[in-house]
Amino acid sequence: RRDELRAWASRPTASADGRRVEIAANIGQLEDVQKALDNGAEAIGLFRTEFLYMGRDRLPTEEEQFRSYKYVLEKMAGKPVVIRTLDVGGDKELPYLGLPRESNPFLGRRALRFCLSRPDVFRPQLRALLRASRFGNLKIMFPMVAVLEELVEAKRLLEEEKQALVSSGVEVADRIEVGIMIEIPSAAVSADLFAEEADFFSIGTNDLIQYTMAADRMNETVSYLYQPYHPSVLRLIRHVIDAAHAAGKWVGVCGEMAGDLTAVPLLLGLGLDEFSMSAGSVLPARERIGSLSHRDWQTLSKQALTLSGSEEVQSFVQARMEGRQ
Ligand code: PEP
Ligand code: MG
């Protein structure tokens, strides 16, 4: 079985009827890059940079960050690397910042909200990313975008740092794609507006599900409502994919759903371009995609989205996968 799976490591990802998609890996630590490559990941779809900031007693310097980003970019040797700016807050605390306690941290000043309020933290990260950009195929991604103004402001800061670096003689890649995570329902619903300002979307289903269902992803007493296959979640995903494609942009999923073998047929059918997951899920997901007809799942996904609930969707997919009606 392991050998069978290993055979998928060197194959490109395509459905049985030839639709090409990309399977990428999510990483947190630098050691994860090798795991991603060993498992045949075609890209890094999410580098959670908060791990550079956690488990220590002060902020990482611009230089430390630059070295980490350069390492990942060089190691991936021209394959795409999506680096997400700091996503602190919610479940990820940085005690040394001494931030005030919030009664609803998941609805509080996390991720990009925090970064925009602390340019002294944000700008060094942007500079480190820009300086590393010439060592590979970097794409920058902002997390937890709720309104367009946040994206516009983040891009303005990035452009300012870029100009400053270039005028001081530092080499920066000409073209760096800048995308956003879609993990707040407002961004999903208004994806058409965001598509005009973003080069790509990556749907963060871990958070998108919790915010859509109003069910804390860490709270077991409401975990029965945390439903990846609920039609309302799937309809949001469909809307985001359609909006991105209408604007000529690509769209991925980097939440757990991307590597979930029951969700994969639905996401493929809805037209997802990139699936980003933990390294260990890459080969099973590639094998699964190889066994599916994209054309069939285009139709089946449409049907699944008309079902009344999560369990119905799940049994529908499982029945089709087993070839039952
Ligand atoms: C997500 O929300 O789906 C995601 C990928 O980000 P994180 O799990 O780091 O919040
Ligand atoms: Mg998230």
Phi and psi at residue 313, in whole multiples of 5°? -65, -45
What are the tens digits of pLDDT across the range 188-213?
A: 999 999 999 999 999 999 999 999 99
The per-residue pLDDT for 89 is: 87
Which of 50, 107, 181, 236 is the best mutation target for the ligand 1 pocket, counting ligand atoms within 8 Å of the beta carbon and taking the most?
181
Does ligand 1 have an atom closer than 6 angstroms to the CB of 50?
no
Cα(4) to ligand 2 centroid in Å equals: 33
Mutation test residue for ligand 1: of 86, 236, 254, the one with most atoms within 8 Å of CB: 254
Nearest to 217 by CA among 118, 90, 124: 90
> What's the CA-to-centroid distance between 255 and ligand 1, angstroms?
5
Residue 115 bears catalytic tag: no
pLDDT digits (tens, 9 = 90+) for 240-278: 999 999 999 999 999 999 999 999 999 999 999 999 999
ipTM of the complex, rounded to two decimals:
0.99
- Under the banding of pLDDT at 50, 70 and 90, the label for residue 303 is very high
Contact 85, 142 (CB under 8 A): yes
Angle of helix 148-167 versus helix 119-132 axis, rounded to 10: 60
In the predicted structure, residue 325 carries a pLDDT above the cut 60: no
Query: Does residue 51's CB lie within 6 angstroms of at least one atom of ligand 1?
Result: no
Would you say the CB of residue 237 lies under 6 angstroms from ligand 1? Answer: no
Residues in contact with 159: Cβ distance below 8 Å, sequence separation at least 6, in sequence order: none
